[in-house]
Chain A
């Protein structure tokens, strides 16, 4: 079976969707030379009217995508670095997201905002290392963060085909993941559908983004003492609350690990919802970056601010004692 990398999965999904639907096109910086590899080979296949190189004008370009979507196109706007989503927060949240309701259902804005590499990398600086997914979940913009090549493929297809704006965030650490796949098995993954990577009966670990792989490693390391269920939401908004309730009905214990700041983060929402609505036999816990954390300034300091496997193992044991 061929090995599929995360970036190859994105490239494959994008190319297939552009082939299938002539309304799909890409806007972004350095897409002609495929600096992120997402658009590799697509300029030759589809030409400059489908792979559209843009100047460094993210705010206007994001609104250009909205305008093209109102016309009937399905734009994919590629951002190489996560802070650019913060630069265009207004254009996504206050423009694209609101056209459907403000037009009383006349308008559709089927735009995909694809961040090809999000989160921390050693030495990339304090302005290149954020995880902005919580901002979009809070705003009600559909947001996905797949962590495997097959899910990246399936969720990119779904994001492009969805009639609403969708933020697609590829966690930097997950880009290194490769899978043995049969291409025939690659299919769209619906929004709001979680994936249980490992079943367990003692504790549910909801792992956001690349922490899915950390959670799997910790679950394996602790297998002799505790049975850990690894729950990957994949789609952060809408969230598969029914699947979480089902998992907690079996385990009764919850740990969330999310590489994002603590206050008002997605981990807080998951804990709050579980506490309000789901059966828990022990107080839930979360592992996040600290409140207001800025990472990226110094690799040695950064590691002290981000969730890790040791913390996860410790917290799982704490939750099991209650």
Chain B
């Protein structure tokens, strides 16, 4: 009986002592951060040390700008040390950590500053072309980074240099939120601005921005021709004066100019040209009969010219028509031009054939050596009476009631 009590009491003591021991070991698990330094430079070796007693089976959670990792300690008798991996410690920003143990929670953070030396200047320039006149601008954004790709600390001085025509100047901006920027305005002249920047004695490469002329202003036109006869052969050339923007820059080459030609009947034709050195040239064939043209040019939606008038004199005053014996071959010509010279080849001759007031057929031929010939086929035009009409250079000759066998 006594033995039984003894046995029970021993068991009880054992049980109590293990519980107490467990409690002691829990209570004695103790961690204290030994690392005093709270500011580091990117790329520094960061080692977080803890004084501890008790359980060494702990982890360190740490989180930088991009993500989180969990580290295992290197433990000695009383100290735990965690070395932060290089790829984590090289990024600037707050690195916060937490010791993960089953008992106490130890947390903290270190501030990793970017390096003070520069490796690259990241520049973003846009838009790449701007309009002359001092209101349009391009923007240069500079992100200076250290060799670990961290943006440099704010308030870093950035020198922005620009050159345009005879001017060259430098201005300073200071970075904020990791970058610096400057608006670069155009001047009244067109041309090319060269831009570069310098941070901590590191120079960027050269950037350029095209300053294109502003929109065209109104201009004048004139016409050139070798004679004023409506011979349907020569070419009239229309030309603009030098088209300029409002700051007297020649407009960009390739500006599209359309010439609208209105004839005396009110019909419109158009021809067009692109500017080179501010001048656009367009051409049109002379009319083949007497005509008055009025011409006006447009850069559509932006500018237009004055209106000019051109008169074309009749070049061919009369023409002969000779029928063959059976009247089925019709010879027209010689067509004589303004100096009685034979009209240039290619003058259009029309023959219209009517029967009983209805148009049966229209033949169009071009003159060759001042002459044209038509032949009326017996199969197409059988026996009967026809009216013939011949049109050349705006003139018409009519032959009524021609009877054919």
- Whether chains A and B associate is no
Residues of B participating in the A interface, judged by any CB pair closer than 8 Å: none
